[in-house]
């Protein structure tokens, strides 16, 4: 059984593919930007695979929370950071509303394999956001609600939902292109983050393919 790596966009998929051996048993597919596209695209791939994959990894670049640019992050949990309701008292997560869960735990066996292959990676919670953070005030609110968060993406939780439904292992890997907070496009390092994604894939290629 092989592994499936899904990314949001083609540039991320290309960066991952550069790091994989030509005979790798890992499939790499871009499924679209955002939680809904990631969930739908991953669910389709897992359904058509008919049990061929033992796990799925949401991979790509993302924003760092207290993590330097170019670093690699592994998710302990994928959390839907803005899925819930606003109120006069503050944000109410879906869990508190009683309508489901906003948290998926990474598969421990798969996460252990990733950590062994990437010993310098930062492990923590990765927030999946429908609207990425662009102000200091919003960042402060997220850090207060999710103190273990180390990165922000737009797809991980959606991929985790699909993996849970298909009963396959889930993990998330991000390389950091920007610092979460006030939006500053001039400070983004997308090229460097994509190169870091290729390097990370090279390091874990052998262990994941086995």
Name the band, by pLDDT with cuts 50, 70 and 90, for residue 110: very high
pLDDT of residue 138: 92
DSSP one-letter string for 18-74: HHS-TT-SEEEEE--SSHHHHHHHHHHHHHHHTT-EEEEEEEEEEEESS--TT-EEE
Q: Give the pLDDT mean for 182-205.
A: 92
SS3 call for 11:
helix
Render pLDDT for 81-92 as a digit per residue (tens, 0 to 9).
999 998 888 888
DSSP label at residue 107? P
Segment among 13-27, 50-64, 144-158 with least mean pLDDT: 13-27
Q: Helices 190-209 and 108-117 sit at what angle, rounded to 10 degrees?
A: 110
**pTM check: above 0.85:** yes
Domain ranges for the chain, please list them.
2-209
Q: Which CATH superfamily is domain 2-209 in?
A: Nucleoside phosphorylase domain (3.40.50.1580)
Render pLDDT for 22-36 as a digit per residue (tens, 0 to 9).
778 899 999 999 999
Segment among 16-30, 56-70, 125-139, 186-200 with least mean pLDDT: 16-30
């Amino acid at each position: 059984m092989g592994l499936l790596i899904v990314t949001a966009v083609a540039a991320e998929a290309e960066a991952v593919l550069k790091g994989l051996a030509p005979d790798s048993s890992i499939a790499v597919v871009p499924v679209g930007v955002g939680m809904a596209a990631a969930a739908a695209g991953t669910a389709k791939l897992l359904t058509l695979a008919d049990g061929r994959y033992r796990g799925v990894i949401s991979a790509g670049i993302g924003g760092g929370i207290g993590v330097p640019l170019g670093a690699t992050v592994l998710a302990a949990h994928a959390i839907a950071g803005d899925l819930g309701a606003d109120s006069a008292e503050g944000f109410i997560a879906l869990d508190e509303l009683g309508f489901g869960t906003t948290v998926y735990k990474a598969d421990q066996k798969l996460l252990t394999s990733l950590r062994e292959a990437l010993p310098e990676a930062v492990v923590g919670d990765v927030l999946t956001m429908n609207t990425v953070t662009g102000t200091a005030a919003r960042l402060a609110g997220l850090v207060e609600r999710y103190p273990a968060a180390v990165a922000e993406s737009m797809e991980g939780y959606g991929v985790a939902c699909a993996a849970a439904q298909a009963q396959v292992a889930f993990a998330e890997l991000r390389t950091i292109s920007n610092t979460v907070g006030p939006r500053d496009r001039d400070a983004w390092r997308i090229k460097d983050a994509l190169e870091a994604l290729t390097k990370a894939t090279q390091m874990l290629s052998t262990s994941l393919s086995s």
